[in-house]
Amino acid sequence: MTEIHQTAIVESGAELGVDVAIGPFSIVHAGARIGDGCHLGPHVTVYGGTTLGSGSRIHAGAILGDLPQDLGFRECETYLKVGSNCVIREGVTLHRGSKPGTTTEIGDHCFLMAFSHCGHNVRLGNGVIVANGVLFAGHVTVGDRAFISGNAIIHQFCHIGRLAMIGGGSGVSKNVPPFCTTHPVTLNRIAALNAVGMRRAGMKSGERLEIKRLYRILYHSNLNTTQALERIETSFDSPLASEISAFVKASERGICSWPRGPESENNG
């Protein structure tokens, strides 16, 4: 049964699924769509053009689908789409796209912790965890099951690969390849491979060993990036090699560095 607190406002033209709960002083604007079984806490604002997937829980003070922070934005129809079974904690802000017809997208089973921000046209894959205070600028793309640690800052148009882990307080202005971790409180510096994340994702030891070998060629073979990719493509014929190669080739901003040193050995 849908429950709407007496102080909440649900405008005409908003669409609510079944078994939805809307808490005190929350506002659901016309044109918003709230999926079955969603729970909105107090003081939540959901703007038009926002779709919230089933089973998601939005905590106090979150704002979904407000205007993009883009000086070039002119009022037009853009969207925010949040997947199913997401948890969005206190004070999170998710802005809609900035160009006509574009969408900011949050995948299924994502967990966005308190006061994190997704700017316009951000795309988060499934199962992404975003810790407190993380800031995604516009057009950032994050692969499935990546983990973004607290207060990290991600520059516009950056890509973060699948199962990558971003260290707390770090800045990223280049792409972070799949399965890598970055140092905390640094800029564009890879620390190791995300061995814990890969194991938790069910990757077999042979797959993890292959990833270690691939990145040894890419970062520690004294080859430039073009030469390293050529060696990877001639030496490996696997989906993992194809994924890493395709990611690097598509990285117009370049990829984060992995300096040599003792930390380079702690990568598997």
Percent share of the chain, pLDDT over 70: 97
Confidence of residue 268 (pLDDT cuts 50, 70, 90): very low
CA angle 170, 175, 177 (to 5 degrees): 100
How many whole angstroms separate alpha carbon 39 and alpha carbon 59?
8
How many whole angstroms separate alpha carbon 115 and alpha carbon 30?
25
How many whole angstroms separate alpha carbon 54 and alpha carbon 36?
5
The identity of residue 153, as a single letter, is I
Task: For 35-76, write each residue's pLDDT tens digit.
Answer: 999 999 999 999 999 999 999 999 999 999 999 999 999 999
Q: CA 249, 252, 258, 260 torsion: positive or negative?
A: positive
Task: For 96-152, write each residue's pLDDT tens digit.
Answer: 999 999 999 999 999 999 999 999 999 999 999 999 999 999 999 999 999 999 999
Coil vs helix vs strand at 210: helix
Euclidean distance between the first and the last CA atom of the chain, given in angstroms as a whole number: 49
In this structure, what is the dihedral angle of CA atoms 44, 50, 53, 59, given to the nearest 10 degrees?
-10
Confidence of residue 259 (pLDDT cuts 50, 70, 90): confident
* Residue whose C-alpha is closest to residue 8's, from 21, 27, 35: 27
In the chain, the domains with their CATH numbers are 3-198 (2.160.10.10), 204-265 (1.20.1180.10)
Structure tokens at 249: 């080739």
Confidence of residue 261 (pLDDT cuts 50, 70, 90): low
The identity of residue 215, as a single letter, is Y
How many whole angstroms separate alpha carbon 187 and alpha carbon 172?
6
CA angle 94, 97, 100 (to 5 degrees): 155
Task: For 154-164, write each residue's pLDDT tens digit.
Answer: 999 999 999 99
Q: CA 21, 25, 26, 29 torsion: positive or negative?
A: positive
Structure tokens at 166: 């971003």
Q: Rounded to the nearest 5°, which phi and psi values hold at 212? A: -60, -40
Structure tokens at 31: 């044109």
